[in-house]
Structure 1
């Protein structure tokens, strides 16, 4: 009987460690990503998950329109497809 209690406690401990190791860092990463998306502004430079680089020209609820290349091609992409945002230096100085 004491062996089963120890086994159950061991399993609960392992599941708790799994939760701490997997879900808490993921939640922090998701929170940081959502903050980055909410702070995007027009004229910020972005890189998408596909490697497309451009400048934001319009922000909609779920989509962002970016302008790429010297031909000024405009592409409509989902906000979730943005990997990094380089904010304007004028905003960083305020």
Structure 2
């Protein structure tokens, strides 16, 4: 009776462990990296919004950024959640 119980639950436990390793840990790493990037953003950083708009940060507030998007100095007020990534400019 005990052997049947063990052989029933061991595959289920292994499946949950594998799911944790393949799905949950990588997502935690991505979230941590994104939060570090968001906290390091400052004025004059180039960013890409989730909508695909590229711009330079003009103003940093607690819940939003104001970005300048073109040579015509078009300014957009973007929620902090709307920033997808920081664009790195490598100077060579």
TM-score (norm 2): 0.88
Structure 1: stretches of 5+ with no match in the other structure: none
| Match in the other structure for 1:70 | 71
Render the CA deviation track for 1:17-43: whole Å, top value 9, x for unaligned.
Answer: 111111110000000000000000101
Partner of 1:60: 61
SS in 2 for 1:51: coil
Q: Which runs of 5+ in 2 are unaligned?
A: none
What is the aligned residue count?
90
TM-score (norm 1): 0.86
Aligned residue number for residue 13 of structure 1: 14
* Residue 38 of structure 2 is aligned to residue 33 of structure 1: no
Aligned to 2:86: 85
